[in-house]
Amino acid sequence: MSQIRAVLLAAALSAAGLAGPAVEAAAATLEVGPTRQFFRPSDAAKVARDGDEVVIDAGVYEGDVAVWKANDLVLRSRDGRAHLQSNGAVAQGKAIWVIAGSGVTVSGMEFSGAAAADKNGAGIRLEGGGDLTVRDSVFHDNQMGLLTGNEGTSTIVIEGSEFYRNGEGVEGGNRVGHNIYVGVAKSFTLRHSSSHHAVRGHLVKSRAARNLIAYNELADMIDGTSSYLVDLPVGGDSVLIGNVFQQGPGTENHTLVSYGAEKKNAPIGRLYVVNNTFVNQNDDGIFVANYGVEPVTLVNNLYQGPGRLVQGDHRQQAFLHAPARIGEKGLVASVMENPGQLLDLAKAMIADGGDVGGFAFRDPLQLDFHLTAASPAIDRGIDPGSTPWGESLLPAAQYRHPLAEEPRRVSGAAPDLGAYEFTD
């Protein structure tokens, strides 16, 4: 129902004596585009009400920024992505889109060029503690990609989206801009997405009480300069499953995954790292740094490259480690020092020989870490069990380029190690 139609209906009901406190205007579909009801997204934002759907024609909307105050909005593009190219403009000095309502879904958008005086100019800024879902969207060349508040009540879900080159223009001192920065929240989920080439900050940072980072490609590539691939500074009950984690030679920080480094600021939960493929192309590094109270559980992971597998207390089962950089020959056939009072070397293997770490990846130089038939990682895994809160740790999917996922099922006698299950 259009907004005009809704107003006419309300007027008719009032004239008939039927309108009252319980009568509300029906949700409307607001169309945005050069030939539509609203010329710019910001025009629709000014009149949008709870439950409305805003459909934005594909194209470039230069310098247009908006504040969305209504709840349960669906903001989606039509016939391709709608590009919110801000050219430095931000709403309320914060973001291209400031989302102040709850239950909002954003789909098919592209956000670029946000710059604010406080260096936190974001593609999207979530405020007020509401819930937000982002799908099939791109965030690039902003000071921050996606940024949320610290109310502690939000549920944030990101699926099938790409983040890159955020942190642009954030220089000096300790200031950095991140591709994704979730503040204090109830929960955060990131699925089948790609985050890469943060200018100096982290690819993913979250202070949520519960985190699920599943089936993503988080990569520095050969020319990246990002810091951590994943930073969970206050811990939280967290599952990292089925991801490709790749650190390049130009990283600002040699740790790939950091957990609980600010544990004094919040209670620490438990971390589960399951069926991930880790690749370190730096000269050294720490694959997983656990500063939490509880030991991190690591199961069925692949590690390619030099460095310590895990720092801090941990339980590690069923893994392969090839301590060399991609492209180097003569791999060292021994586990590097791996301290930890709860270390379990059950079913551990060390790859030896080969130009690409002995894992027989399909095309690692192109970030294709699917296994081939020659891989020693096939059928080397174990049943990872489940979390204390009842979440299965057996991967149900795997990342499919670009920005998608596909079902994953055990195809042999046991699960394969790493982010991908081998199939003929």
**Any idea what the CATH number is for the domain that residue 336 is in?**
2.160.20.10
271: containing domain: 27-407
* Residue at 21 is within a domain: no
pLDDT at 153: 98
Most confident range (mean pLDDT) of 16-20, 265-269, 337-341, 368-372 is 368-372
Record the pTM: 0.89
- Please tell me whether residue 376 adopts helix, strand or coil conformation: coil
pLDDT at 371 over 70: yes
Sequence-distant (≥ 6) Cβ neighbours of residue 75 within 8 angstroms: 41, 54, 56, 68, 104, 105, 106, 107, 109
* Residue at 395 is within a domain: yes
* Residue at 16 is within a domain: no
Handedness of CA 223, 369, 205, 77 (dihedral sign): positive
Give percent of the chain above pLDDT 90. Answer: 77
* Residue at 422 is within a domain: no
Cα–Cα dist 320/317, whole Å: 10
Mean pLDDT of the chain: 88
* Residue at 153 is within a domain: yes
pLDDT at 246 over 80: yes
* Residue at 12 is within a domain: no
* Residue at 17 is within a domain: no
Domain count, the chain: 1
* Residue at 416 is within a domain: no
pLDDT at 276: 98
